[in-house]
Amino acid sequence: GDSVTQMEGPVTLSEEAFLTINCTYTATGYPSLFWYVQYPGEGLQLLLKATKADDKGSNKGFEATYRKETTSFHLEKGSVQVSDSAVYFCALSTGTGANNLFFGTGTRLTVIP
């Protein structure tokens, strides 16, 4: 079935370091791919998305490219800030039926000054 495998955490970085969080997926249809972010004590909010192969999603300095050949959607940011500390979830919308979202296990990022 459809699934998302996400890099295990937690990840701790110094401010201004480069961030990569790996995400790979398995899907039978033509999924859309998403990154959601959860700040402490809050619900999830959309960070970025890509709806077809080779699309790049970007927001707030974060980027991810939908790579069909490697079934990946890795999240990157060139220079992280303390305010980026959160849990990041990779997700796919199946592209079949009700297009439910399936989530990875989440990666906790802590950025230290």
Nearer residue to other proteins within complex by CB, 15 or 54 = 54
Question: Residue with structure tokens 């979202």?
Answer: 101
For binding to other proteins (CB under 8 A), which residues are involved? 6, 30-32, 34, 36, 42-46, 49, 51, 89, 93-95, 97-106
Q: Are 90 and 101 in contact (CB under 8 A)?
A: no
- The rounded distance, in Å, linking the Cα atoms of 71 and 93 is 14
| β-bridge partners, 103 | 91
- The rounded distance, in Å, linking the Cα atoms of 33 and 57 is 9
CB of 16 to other proteins, least distance (A): 29
Nearer residue to other proteins within complex by CB, 10 or 78 = 10
CB of 33 to other proteins, least distance (A): 10
CB of 37 to other proteins, least distance (A): 11
